């Protein structure tokens, strides 16, 4: 019986830690963007974010223009096509706030970038 309980606890821990992966990716992307664009970048804070701004993770003032920033993570070794469709669905409504969208696909291996035929 204890083996079943320990196995269940491990699975619950795995589910709970998914949010930590998102936070780590988000912090790494922000650090990378600050390094890449040095002193010319400013992320919009949660209180300054427009209420109508949907789905994208960040709104950034970069070199005098406002840019929308979003990343997709290949969580199980491949990118989710429905998540990309959702990103593109919100593009038109968010163009009021940003001039362009910077979309970062993030994966742990190169194999994740071999897309299936349904992506084409």
Going from N- to C-terminal start, the domains of the chain cover 2-119
Nearest to 47 by CA among 59, 55, 62, 29: 59
Q: Residue 70 in 3-state DSSP?
A: strand
pLDDT in tens, the chain (120 residues): 445 555 666 666 666 666 688 889 999 999 999 999 877 899 998 888 888 888 899 999 988 899 999 999 988 888 888 888 999 999 999 999 999 999 999 998 888 888 777 766
**φ and ψ at 71, to 5 degrees?**
-130, 150
The continuous run of DSSP H or E covering 6 comes out as helix 2-16
Q: pTM for this structure? A: 0.78
Spatial CB neighbours of 97, under 8 Å, sequence gap ≥ 6: 50, 52, 53, 59, 66, 68
Residues linked to residue 102 through DSSP beta bridges, in sequence order: 69
């Amino acid at each position: 019986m204890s083996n079943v309980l320990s196995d269940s606890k491990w699975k619950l821990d795995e589910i709970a830690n998914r949010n930590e992966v998102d936070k780590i990716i988000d912090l790494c992307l922000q650090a990378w963007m600050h390094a890449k664009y040095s002193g010319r970048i400013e992320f919009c804070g949660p209180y300054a974010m427009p209420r109508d701004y949907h789905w994208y993770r960040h709104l950034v003032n970069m070199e005098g223009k406002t840019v929308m920033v979003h990343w997709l993570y290949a969580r199980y070794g491949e990118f989710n096509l429905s998540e990309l469709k959702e990103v593109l669905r919100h593009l038109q409504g968010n163009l009021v706030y940003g001039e362009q969208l910077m979309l970062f696909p993030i994966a742990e291996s190169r194999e994740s970038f071999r897309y299936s035929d349904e992506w084409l």
